[in-house]
Amino acid sequence: MEQRFVYADHSATTGVRPEVLEAMLPYLKEEYGNPSSIYKKARTAKEALEKARDQVAKAIGAKSATEVFFTGSGTEADNWALKGIFEAYANKGNHIITTAVEHHAILHTCEYLEKVRGAKITYLPVDSEGFVRLDALKDAITDETILVSVIAANNEIGTINPIKEIAEICHEKGVLLHVDAVQAIGNIPIDVQEMGIDLLSMSGHKFYAPKGVGALYVKKGVRLPSFIHGGDQERKKRAATENIPGIVGMGVAIELAVAEMEERNRTLIPLRDRLINEIEEKIPFAKLNGPREKRLPGHVNFSFEFIEGESLLLLLDMAGICASSGSACTSGSLDPSHVLMAIGLPHEIAHGSLRLTLGRENTAEDVDYIMEKLPPIVERLREMSPLYEDYLNGNTQPIIMKK
């Protein structure tokens, strides 16, 4: 097969889809009005803003569009939810519960709240497939607990958490639930009312909208202070002239992502499963990270013993395949991923992990191409590995069993 280009890193970001770009273009060109002004041109922008808010509210099953606040990113939505609830509910308590496998947008915000603002944080353990331990959640809630924050679907290993059950536990104890749904939106069904979610973070660039636009859903009645002070935008809670082109793009993208989800997953899930099965068949000493079921469509994560994830990525890149090891945010650092540590992987094999995340434009030929390139690359890296040589010489036992 000749050289192809295969983008298999959709959990890191996605490209803006044509319909989204088309919808955005007028607001980058002639419709540049500031929605806060009063003339007709401004009203056009204001109407576009409110239409997008409706689209987002519908896509997540919100009761009202007034529960949706646009932000500059998923990271900002996460920061706002945690810092805002901590501030608004200080009279009730200072305890926040989250999990060991959150995105850094949650974990580093929690570290800040703990070190600088006097919060008490509990990091719930997960099981070997990355699911939050519900018994641990029940035990962790105290009279001081004000918020539980749980990732809906894990960006590194694809695990889909039982959000509805988690919400029931929280509400029994009168505690608010925030959900980081950045990976979930457009990939699995999300309905904030049906699932019992109080706050929910989203990010446009994970579902084919541009980068630099996100949103926070805040259920009516939940107190949340302003995050950016200034003008009256976003009902005085998030000042700054709105990113109208980005917001319009996010509205169209979320509508399309949700409308097409079922049909897209009918092709994506079999492609994912074929990739998983073929890697297990063709590459010895390979371990699937995360569950087989209840995992994001298109999401594959493996550890390969005796090799370094970074060298694997470089050789895949030379073959035209974009992939990542762990999350994009941790690549470039030498620490093994906190998610792989939390599911109990030993350091040695956590370092040799590979994440391949397929999206709407991937085809069966892409999977064929990955399976043509990946096994010989892994083989080549092993041939250069002193650890593999030790094993071949009978000096060490492998951690992952040969299939």
- Per CB under 6 A, 187 contacts ligand PLP: no
In angstroms, the CA 67 to CA 317 distance is 42
Query: Which residues are 200's β-sheet partners?
Result: 179, 217
- Per CB under 6 A, 206 contacts ligand PLP: yes
- Per CB under 6 A, 284 contacts ligand PLP: no
- Per CB under 6 A, 155 contacts ligand PLP: yes
Q: Where are the alpha helices (DSSP H) in 329-385?
A: 338-342, 347-350, 364-383
Determine whether 71 is exposed, middle or buried from the number of CB atoms within 10 Å of its CB (0-12, 13-18, 19+).
buried
Q: How far apart are CB 172 and ligand PLP at their closest, in Å?
A: 26
Among 214, 249, 251, 284, binds ligand PLP (CB under 6 A): 214
Task: Give the largest Cα separation in the chain, rounded.
Answer: 79
Side chain identity, residue 319? A
Select 166 or 378, whichever has its Cβ closest to ligand PLP.
166
- Per CB under 6 A, 52 contacts ligand PLP: no
> Shortest CA distance to 216 belongs to which of 46, 76, 353?
76
Pattern of binders to ligand PLP over 71-110, x per CB under 6 A?
--xxx--x------------------------x-x-----
| Phi-psi label, residue 246: left if phi above 0, alpha if psi -120 to 50, beta otherwise | alpha
Select 8 or 378, whichever has its Cβ closest to ligand PLP.
8
Of 110, 170, 322, 329, the catalytic one is 329
Among 129, 180, 198, 255, binds ligand PLP (CB under 6 A): 180
Give Cβ neighbours of residue 382 (< 8 Å, ≥ 6 apart).
306, 307, 388
Q: How far apart are CB 102 and ligand PLP at their closest, in Å?
A: 8
Structure letter (DSSP) for residue 205: G
> Shortest CA distance to 345 belongs to which of 290, 299, 395?
290
Do the strands 214-218 and 68-71 form a parallel or antiparallel pair, or are they unpaired? antiparallel
Active site residue 170: no
Select 206 or 373, whichever has its Cβ closest to ligand PLP.
206
Tell me the residue nearest to ligand PLP as measured from the CB. 74
Select 205 or 295, whichever has its Cβ closest to ligand PLP.
205
In angstroms, the CA 192 to CA 56 distance is 12
Query: Which residues are 9's β-sheet partners?
Result: 357
Q: How far apart are CB 333 and ligand PLP at their closest, in Å?
A: 17
Select 159 or 183, whichever has its Cβ closest to ligand PLP.
183
Name the phi and psi angles at 234, rounded to 5.
50, 50
Are the C-beta atoms of 399 and 348 separated by less than 8 Å? yes
Q: How far apart are CB 183 and ligand PLP at their closest, in Å?
A: 5
Q: Tell me how far the alpha carbon of residue 30 is from its chain's centroid.
A: 34
Q: How far apart are CB 137 and ligand PLP at their closest, in Å?
A: 19
Among 14, 122, 183, 289, binds ligand PLP (CB under 6 A): 183
Among 146, 166, 169, 182, binds ligand PLP (CB under 6 A): 182
Count the residues of the shown chain that bind ligand PLP, applying the rule CB under 6 A. Answer: 15
If DSSP codes are grouped into helix, strand and coil, which group holds residue 398?
A: coil
Q: How far apart are CB 46 and ligand PLP at their closest, in Å?
A: 24
Name the phi and psi angles at 382, rounded to 5.
-65, -35
Residues 244-283 that bind ligand PLP (CB under 6 A): none
- Per CB under 6 A, 216 contacts ligand PLP: no
Q: How far apart are CB 155 and ligand PLP at their closest, in Å?
A: 4
> Would you please indicate which residues are annotated as catalytic (active-site) residues?
329
Q: Using CB under 6 A, list all residues that contact ligand PLP.
A: 73-75, 78, 103, 105, 151, 155, 180, 182-183, 203, 205-206, 214
